[in-house]
Amino acid sequence: MKYYILDLSPHNSLVKFLTGQGFTVFMISWRNPGPGDRDIAFDDYRKLGVKAAVEAIGDIVPDRQIHALGYCLGGTLLSIAAATMARDGDIRLKSITMLAAQTDFTEAGELTLFINESQIAFLEDMMWEHGVLDTTQMSGAFQLLRPNDLIWSLVSRDYLLGERAAPSDLMAWNADATRLPYRMHSEYLRKLFLNNDLAEGRYLVEGRPIVLSDIHVPMFVVGTVRDHVAPWKSAYKIHYQVEADVTFVLTSGGHNAGIVAPPAEEGHFYQVKNKPENAPYVGPDEWLKVAPRTEDRGGRNGPGG
């Protein structure tokens, strides 16, 4: 995902909010790979992305801990980087925020329709020829997850009725698609989606396994109700994977709008509840009943209301 989804416009910019609160904000602008980047590995994204960014921040503002945030695949990468740092005694992270991100892929939602041995082999053959997974192929898969919203409604409105939707910052961002390199995407699909190595303690970093239970820094985790990419109950599994204080937020909306839309807008709501590090585990269905719910200005407030 292009990094500036968290800095779209003044009214929904996380960067603007954080700088207004006195934070110094750094963002990783991920390279959009081409055919020459075909052999970039998944772990290279950790080393050349997350690890390099942490080191650069340390050079600019030394002796300061970092509040790290990762969105979607960036959140998965952050969890891997954080577990590696914890394993190696690196204490530079102060807290971890994960937005619509998964660390256990056993219930990864409708995207699993495209993830099996034959589908991955087909993708690998296609990526081997071009060196990357092209933007049209990636966006097509996500459109198929929500055909009513992302395909048929557009055909009906744009083609049959001749009506063009008003442009928005999120639509412009969505059109700025990215590619994924052959090796990185193949490793991601096989090690995480197909084999679930990260959740089951088999994921190796620099030849040694990492486990999420080594993470002890506080976590702020956000899921969205209509997320077809990272279902909220899948993101919720972080509660029993880490040994940390976890604050979980469930918002209205989907994978993108549910993250960037201001909570005070009409029709929006969110639920939030904290689980201290040593508190007993509460399952997602029970959490849904007891987590206080806040609705838009015209709605009701109260537990489950």
Closest to 29 in 3D by CA, of 158, 208, 176, 171: 176
How far apart, in whole angstroms, are the C-alpha atoms of residue 140 and residue 295? 33
Strand partners, 224: 251
Supply the DSSP symbol for 165.
P
Q: Choose the catalytic residue: 6, 68, 72, 246.
A: 72
Residue 275, H or E segment = strand 269-275
Helices (H), the chain: 14-20, 42-45, 52-60, 73-87, 117-130, 135-145, 147, 153-154, 169-175, 182-187, 232-235, 257-260, 284-290
How far apart, in whole angstroms, are the C-alpha atoms of residue 134 and residue 177? 9
Closest to 44 in 3D by CA, of 226, 147, 185: 185
CA distances from 203 to 178, 188, 195, 199, 210 (A): 26, 11, 10, 8, 6
Is 72 considered catalytic here?
A: yes
How far apart, in whole angstroms, are the C-alpha atoms of residue 126 and residue 172? 28
State the distance between the two ends of the chain, measured CA to CA, in whole angstroms.
34
Catalytic amino acids?
Answer: 72
